[in-house]
Structure 1
Amino acid sequence: MTAATSLIPGLDEIVRHGDPQRRAEAALRISELFLQDAARLRPDHVELFDGLLIDLVPHAELAARVNLAERLSLLANAPRILVGQLARENELAVAGPLLRRSPVVDETVLLEIARPKGQGHLLAMSERATLSPDLTDVLIRRGDRDVVRRAAGNKGAQFSHAGYSTLIKRASQDGVLTLAVGQREDLSDERLKALLAGSIDVIRRRLFDVVKPARQAAIKQAMSELSGVPELVESRRDFLPAQRTVLALHRQGQLNESAVLNFAKSYQYEEGVAALAAMSGVKIATLDRLICGDRHDPLLILGKTVGFEWATVRALILLRLGPNRVPAPADIETARVNFARLVPSTAERVVQFWKSRPTI
């Protein structure tokens, strides 16, 4: 600690017997010295700074502690005891930055702080890049609406089985929370079904509109199971086996453009339509009627909305015509040009029209 003692003559005396004003001044000067050299300090040097600052920083003014906490929250080698001391402060402006992002605040400290502190401290924690199941258990149990919503929307959060059950139970009284939970990548089909079971119809529809196509397929399946009635498709074709195939692909994470292309190349019409329905959110009955019409346009619109390449859209056009019909090259070229010119926002508006008042 030669640098510190040379910078502040009589430092030992200030630490042991100095008045609060002198200690506060020393805290500012030593903390600035640490921050200037932090990147070059060895662990033992950091410990020396830590030992000094934990006795001096509490005497610094609030604005100085806030500034110090903000700067320390970005350092991976910040003085551990000092950081823990600041993170435990009741003053949220001091504790908040460290609770949100400091890599030095470990799980033990977070849990210790989460159990007694107020909602502001819990909200700050809910914004951390990662949250363990033990910590989210506390956040969900003690947190208010804002805390729970923020934790549910945190992609780096993990939830225990009990935590997820509590989260879903709370979502039954909170539509915003339902939307946050329904969009989580780690939400299983069974949990999705429980979430939907406790939601009102308008929230179910809103969730259906905001989730990814693969999740839309799972929502339709869950609603079918909840109602006990599978989606009715007015067609001479039997789409039920195809729906099961597509749902299995979804569960395996393989419901994508490649799967649709394979269906099209194999002339598996039912599977192709069921996959398009799952990925676009348009009902199978609606798609079947559109695709069996006189024009290729519905496939161009669907392909543009879902984000398919032209090769996949072309294969779907051939699927639509069937294996025994050969399209005129001019017709295919016209379709290609129209697909290239089609504006995604225009295609999306048409699909939204098709989806109007969907039965899910």
Structure 2
Amino acid sequence: MAVPTPIIPELDDVVRGGDARRQADIIRKLSDLFAQGAAHFQPRHVELFDGILIGLVPLVEIDARVRLAEQIAPIPNAPPSLVGLLVHEDEIAISGPLLRSSPLVDEPTLIEIAGAKGQGHLFAISERATLSPPVTDVIVRRGDRDVIRSVAGNSGAQFSTTGYSGLLTRASDDGVLALAIGKRHDITQMQLKELLEHSADIVRRRLFDMASPAKKVAINQAMIGIGSAPSRGARDFARAQREILTLSMAEELNEAALMAFAKEHKYEETVATLSVMTGVSLSIIDHLIRGDRHDPILIMGKSLGLQWATVRALIIVRIGPGKPNPSIPEMEEARMNYERLVPATAQRVLKFWQKRPAEAHAEV
């Protein structure tokens, strides 16, 4: 197919002495012409456009270069030298479209730019339809929070063992990132276990709620693995966790289930249920309930909107079977304190507990 040439005679004059407006107009006409006929152009035609546009691009303002980059970014046979020039621009409005979608930007170029440019360039790269492990290794090493979240949520990104390890490390204090990683199809069972082990219980619960049936099974297995190795001197909550997960999957984990566990003095099941319902780490719930005061139970009950009868059963299960229940005056004082407790205050304390590390000794 021949290239139409009505605008070509203007080029020499424009390049030698044309003003910026005329130069930008020529670039616009050329880029429109190329975009319309790109599918039919032969390599020699592409080479012609490449040579002409390369000569004009340095002469025009940013707006003209932005438009040109956006126009040629998705074209498979775009002028290669022009793509190479624009993709290295510091101005992200110019380089961004090419970094995000141009099929002509190869892996070495992506690695080079990811290692040298700023977070805007890294973010644009993170949105490409596919990314190889060498590229994501650089992104994980240099990216800020938004970049890491973006690449973790990109189903077309592939990660090396080192890259995945970096994602998991960053996810230990970023719940949004943990959820993005947990939803990935390429996460291994070992990586899922590591992710859950270092995530807050509220993140675990949200991930479970959003998971597909197959992923729910994987999460269940990972949680069992975490619970099957209790810390020294701690209770073994593995069996309780299995039962709680089963109830949660059946949408039967509610106040009635909590009350039943407490009445039957099933301590581990009671603690595991409270952990899921409050979003507080299981180990912190265990520490709070085993304390000398009723206050933590009152606070959890008020934050969840539990009936006094359920809260009373929790107080009794805290004391343990075979031990004398609290005296009537002591229980009445607890009831009055529960009635006086303001829900907003209880919620503030609960949020504090939710943010505590699992290994920390919780305090009221």
User: Match of 2:187, as an amino acid?
Assistant: L
Q: Distance in 2 between matches of 1:98 and 1:285?
A: 50
Tell me the matched-pair count. 253
Partner of 1:205: 205
**Offset at residue 74 of structure 1 (A):** 2.1
**Offset at residue 183 of structure 1 (A):** 0.8
Partner of 1:96: 96
**Offset at residue 53 of structure 1 (A):** 0.8
Pair 1:232 & 2:239 matched:
yes
Q: Structure 2-normalised TM-score?
A: 0.61
1:34-64 superposed Cα distances (whole Å, 9 cap, x missing partner):
2232222111210121112112122222222
Partner of 2:118: 118
1:230-282 superposed Cα distances (whole Å, 9 cap, x missing partner):
74379xxxxxxxx9xxxxxxxxxxxxxxxxxxxxxxxxxxxxx9xx959x824
Q: 1:156 to 1:32 in 2, by over 3 A?
A: same
**Offset at residue 136 of structure 1 (A):** 0.7
Pair 1:160 & 2:160 matched:
yes
Q: Structure 1-normalised TM-score?
A: 0.62
Gaps of 5+ in 1: 235-242, 244-272, 290-354
**Offset at residue 108 of structure 1 (A):** 1.8
Helix, strand or coil: the match of 2:75? coil
Gaps of 5+ in 2: 229-235, 258-275, 283-364
Mapping of residues 40-189 of structure 1, within 5 Å? 40-189=40-189
Helix, strand or coil: the match of 2:166? helix
1:202-248 superposed Cα distances (whole Å, 9 cap, x missing partner):
211121111112222222222222222574379xxxxxxxx9xxxxx
Helix, strand or coil: the match of 1:31? helix
Contact 2:27 2:64 in 1 (8 A): no
Partner of 1:281: 249
Contact 1:5 1:11 in 2 (8 A): no
User: Match of 1:281, as an amino acid?
Assistant: M
Alignment RMSD, CA only? 3.3
Q: Distance in 2 between matches of 1:5 and 1:14?
A: 15
1:125-177 superposed Cα distances (whole Å, 9 cap, x missing partner):
11111111111111111111010001001111100000000000000010000
Q: How many percent identity over aligned positions?
A: 52
User: Match of 1:201, as an amino acid?
Assistant: D
Q: Distance in 1 between matches of 2:181 and 2:38?
A: 40
1:276-330 superposed Cα distances (whole Å, 9 cap, x missing partner):
959x8249999xx9xxxxxxxxxxxxxxxxxxxxxxxxxxxxxxxxxxxxxxxxx
Q: Distance in 1 between matches of 2:90 and 2:39?
A: 29
User: Match of 1:171, as an amino acid?
Assistant: A
Q: Distance in 2 between matches of 1:25 and 1:60?
A: 10
Partner of 1:7: 7
Mapping of residues 281-300 of structure 1, within 5 Å? 281-282=249-250
Contact 1:8 1:26 in 2 (8 A): no
User: Match of 1:212, as an amino acid?
Assistant: S
